[in-house]
Amino acid sequence: MQATNNGVLAAGNAYDPFVSTTTPLGTAGAVVTHPLQPNPYAHDHTGIGPTSYFTAQSTFQQPAQYHLYAPIGPHNQNILGYQRNVHDLFIPNDFREELQKKAAATLQTLPNSQLPTQIDHFHSLVPLDVTHQKNATIFGYPSWVYKAQSSKDGNYYALRRLEGFRLTNEKAIRCVQAWKRVISASVVTVHDAFTNRSFQDSSLIFVTDYHPLSKTLAEQHLESPTRYQNRHASTHVTEPVLWGYVTQIASALKAIHSAGLAARVIDASKILLTGKNRIRLNACAILDVVQHDTQRSIADLQSNDMVSFGQLILTLGASSLAHNPTKALEHFSRAYSAQLYNSVLWLLGAGPSKDPQGQAQAANQSQNANSNSNQGSDRTIDVFITGISTQLISTFDSSLHVDDELTHDLSRELENARLVRLLTKLNFITERPEYDHDRHWSENGERYFLKLFRDYVFHQVDSQNAPVVDLGHVLTCLNKLDAGSEEKVTLISRDEQSCFVVSYKELKKGVEMSFQALMKRR
């Protein structure tokens, strides 16, 4: 109790049921000389109540409703509050198809294969090359790519084989250890490298992560149309997509250069497109092994990375591998913004310039990587990233939106096994031969209702006495049972002599109580 300024004692609670405004205690100036009696029933759990007159009963408590999905944001749909879309109930159809296709590609096997049955601890080889032409332009050796499964961890990996390579220096293959420490979302992770003779020759094998159904940037943007395709079809890469590629490659080079390495392979045919506008640098560690004896400084190689970076973006902007550098720069300046154009010029070593003559000189200089090795120490990936910081923010914001969307889709699949759990409980209970020395346990009480409910859901027949195989009916009944709906259902015995009308809530109570009885015997 605490006295107020007007002399009235104020209780700790804002409301006292024993003090009303019509009593003398409610008038101003009233003085109370004894403690105010609190409500005896406010916090007394042993007072007068239902349990004082009736014996304690085991009431059925509803379990936590984990099947009630919480709508996790963001919510960007232009619909009214009471409206729902079919896509709200399931994972997006295109996303589901993409995951299923990737899973099928991962599990794909090649029957009657002529490939080696096992390479080191890898087996089940499947070729990933879409062409059967030998190409030794980039690595100096013909290379082939296979998908294989590891017998150590069961995971799938991509094996790149360099045909006819002979290892003369043991230190060369040790360079791969440094690449194992390069952890970047924009670089295909390198796991191992070893020599092998399973292909009846001396081959160098690189083990990297496997990304199913991935394509190269050359296949996506630079493939020439066939005679059956529309020759006038637009293959122009939009500027937002091109900026996305620029920021991801810059992120990859940042991780590589920070580790004291150089990518050395920034080519459209070796950059994987693993998702929508999602790319990864691939095959970066190969030249460090193949050209280990070449005496070139890391600074020189990193400078060449910047030039190759600019040449790649210029090639994608021209949508052609065989392009004239001068005309490509002129087209690039017309098709894209000044910021992207100046960024390409900076990478090529010419710096921002609007002079056509300077553009032509920059294009000619970009054809010779060695001519740009002495451009200065200020041409680093860190300086380039600082210059495109505004585009990095845009790309980062887009990635956050994608993350929110994936989290939203995942939240809807959080309890996708609830019907399996419910069916498991039902099968534990129904048709049980014996329990606690009682052979008729499953035929008595609420268990009998569950047996009839099982027949109602799965064993219905139509007017022609043919089985009713309706997945919609099964899912509807199980969902109502899982939610404990108040809706009534009519259950008829197999001999059609008995009929029961029960609610789904009562059936759910029977499932939980019967299952708990089974659990108590453990």
Binding residues: 160, 209-216, 269-270
Note the Cα 140 to chain centre separation in Å. 37
Q: Which residues are documented as binding site for ATP? A: 160, 209-216, 269-270
Give the single-character DSSP code of 8.
P
Query: What is the rounded distance in angstroms from the CA atom of residue 264 to the CA atom of residue 138?
Result: 10
What string of DSSP letters covers 36-82? PPPPTTSS-TTSSSHHHHS----PPPPPP-TTS----S-----S-TT
State phi, psi for 426 to the nearest 5 degrees. Answer: -60, -40
Residue pair 313/351 in contact (Cβ under 8 Å)? The answer is no
**Alpha-carbon distance values, 361 to 81, 114, 263, 289 (Å):** 61, 51, 26, 34
Residue 406's CB: how many other CB atoms inside 10 A?
11
Number of residues written out for the chain: 522
**Alpha-carbon distance values, 305 to 160, 165, 184, 265, 490 (Å):** 22, 25, 17, 8, 74
Q: Based on C-alpha coordinates, what's the Rg of the chain?
A: 36
Supply 69's token pair: 């999905």
